[in-house]
Amino acid sequence: MINKEIADALNSQMNFEMYSANIYMSMASWFDAKNLTGCANWMKIQYAEEMFHCTKFYNYINERGARVLIDGMPAPATEWDSPLAAFETALGHEQIVTSRINDLVAQAIEAKDHATVNFLQWFIGEQVEEEASVDGVIQQLKLMEGAPGGLFMLDRELGQRVFTPPAK
């Protein structure tokens, strides 16, 4: 059994992962509307990753004997100024997630909840990948600024991304 403060914090993060998923699906829709279907695919895969994260929190909360609670989430934004702006927003969001995970670890250490500290280690590694993955796209978008056809090529490349459930 976990204490109430830790259960609340884990529930909050579980809901934040679902909110993250909504943001990426909203970005997918924006890209699809612009016929950038590869970028949209990249965002849909990101949605699937976030739902995987959400379910991982769900299962852990449940396993530890606490109740999973879904709360109201803010509606995601629906418009961005450019593909680069959308991916930069995504990176900023991932940096917030990283900071939240770090705070959760600190809280679990403070509560001497070593099982939760152990559970969260997976997310520490995952956030390094999450930030690097978005940043990789941002760097490519910046490199191709002013290069005709660059976005078309990148869109084709991002269309190849597939969802591979991360190791548990």
Q: Which of 20, 26, 41, 116 binds ligand FEO (CB under 6 A)?
A: 20
CA distance 37 to 32: 5
> Is 88 near ligand FEO (CB under 6 A)?
no
* Contact of 60 with 119, CB cutoff 8 Å: yes
* Contact of 31 with 40, CB cutoff 8 Å: yes
What is the nearest approach in angstroms of ligand FEO to the Cβ of residue 53? 4
> Is 130 near ligand FEO (CB under 6 A)?
yes
How many residues contact ligand FEO, by CB under 6 A? Answer: 7
Residues 6+ apart with CB under 8 A from 130: 49, 94, 97, 98
Residues 6+ apart with CB under 8 A from 146: none
What is the nearest approach in angstroms of ligand FEO to the Cβ of residue 148? 32
Q: Which of 6, 17, 42, 56 binds ligand FEO (CB under 6 A)?
A: 17
Q: By the criterion CB under 6 A, which residues form the site for ligand FEO?
A: 17, 20, 50, 53, 94, 97, 130
